[in-house]
């Protein structure tokens, strides 16, 4: 990442894709938090805007609308030479974030997807119908046509340079899809066997292959819920917050790091602002490296 680059925070305040829609309030709650007020004193960090899903439409149309607008804002941010920090909202907003990155680049980036879940269902395979369980599949060109091709024609990310990291709750249909498309999954069992650092090195070797641009999307439910309770879909035995923070600090110094997205902050479930403070610390881990 280049020295002195400005960071633009973009709120994606949509919970339409989730069963618990409290994460729609996440960006505004964080913007009003003490944690953000401390961060906002940095001259090279500013809150750009917060996007909302329209009210008068079907759920898929609402998600498609906010994702199209988010893709526009992310692409414009990158065109201006700024670094986008996207804060969700549920993980369906990733369809917009990485479509915008692909549009700016003109080619699919690599992507490190840090999550307790695989988010790779399609409408045909989903057990719940919740779209926040489908965004990775959409970015790979699978799913509802209204959520595809929002940045460039075809896939919005490069499956051969994409890794799901930390997954511990998923269905076989998702595994089969990702295996067929060539996306590497580093799940909880591999992390337990080989350790966080070795698995992170493995993941980064894939997403940085050839020195091309890549990004990171982090669902806060990847982190153990005792440390990050403010999420809509908590899963026990998650990653250490310190491990994730150290990883982001390391990643921020790598050439080709293009954008960061952190999603699924649910203030209704937060206790003593612990998740908001963790979110600020994770953002700071990236921002401090670029100073």
Residue 55 backbone phi and psi in degrees, to 5? -90, -35
pLDDT on residue 4: 61
pLDDT in tens, 175-229: 999 999 999 999 999 999 999 999 999 999 999 999 999 999 999 999 999 999 9
CA 264 to chain centre: 9
- Among all residues, which ones are annotated catalytic? 91, 115, 117, 119, 132, 219, 221, 264
| Intervals of the chain under pLDDT 70 | 1-4, 43, 290-291
| pTM attached to this predicted model | 0.96
pLDDT on residue 56: 85
SS3 per residue for the chain: CCCCCCEEEEEEECCCCCCCHHHHHHHHHHHHCHHHHHHCCCCCEEEEEEEECCCCCCHHHHHHHHHHHHHHHHHHHHHCCCEEEEEECCHHHHHHHHHHHHHHHCCCCEEEEECCCCCCCCCCCCCCCCHHHCHHHHHCCCCCHHHCCCCCCCCCCCHHHEEEEEECCCCHHHHHHHHHHCCEEEEHHHHHHHCHHHHHHHHHHHHCHHHCCEEEEEEHHHECCCCCCCECCCCCCCECHHHHHHHHHHHHCCCCEEEEEEECECHHHCCCCHHHHHHHHHHHHHHHHHC
pLDDT on residue 290: 59
- Show the domains of the chain with their CATH numbers: 7-290 (3.40.800.10)
Q: Are 259 and 74 in contact (CB under 8 A)?
A: yes
**Dihedral angle sign, alpha carbons of residues 102, 279, 238, 93:** negative
């Amino acid at each position: 990442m280049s020295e002195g680059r400005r960071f633009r925070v973009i709120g994606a305040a949509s919970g339409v894709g989730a069963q618990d829609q409290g994460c729609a309030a996440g960006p505004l709650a964080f913007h009003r938090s003490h944690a953000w007020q401390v961060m906002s004193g940095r001259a090279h960090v500013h809150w750009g805007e917060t996007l909302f899903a329209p009210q008068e439409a079907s759920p898929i149309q609402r998600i498609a609308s906010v994702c199209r607008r988010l893709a526009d804002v992310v692409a414009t941010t990158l065109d201006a030479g700024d670094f986008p920090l996207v804060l969700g909202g549920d993980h369906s907003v990733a369809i917009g974030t990485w479509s915008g990155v692909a549009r700016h680049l003109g080619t699919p980036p690599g992507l490190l997807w840090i999550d307790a879940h695989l988010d790779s269902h399609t409408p045909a395979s989903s057990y719940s119908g919740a779209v926040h369980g489908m965004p990775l599949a959409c970015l790979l060109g699978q799913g509802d046509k209204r959520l595809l091709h929002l940045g460039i024609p075809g896939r919005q990310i490069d499956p051969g340079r994409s890794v799901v990291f930390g997954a511990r709750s998923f269905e076989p249909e998702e595994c089969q899809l990702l295996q067929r498309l060539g996306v590497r999954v580093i799940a909880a069992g591999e992390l337990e066997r080989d350790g966080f650092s070795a698995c992170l090195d493995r993941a980064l070797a894939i997403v940085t292959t050839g020195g091309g641009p890549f990004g990171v999307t982090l669902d806060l439910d990847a982190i153990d819920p005792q440390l990050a309770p403010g999420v809509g879909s908590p899963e026990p035995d998650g990653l250490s917050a310190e491990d994730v923070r150290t990883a982001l600090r390391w990643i921020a110094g790598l050439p080709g790091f293009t954008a960061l997205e952190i999603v699924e902050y649910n203030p209704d479930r937060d206790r003593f602002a612990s998740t908001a403070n963790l979110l600020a610390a994770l953002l700071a881990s990236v921002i401090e490296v670029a100073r």
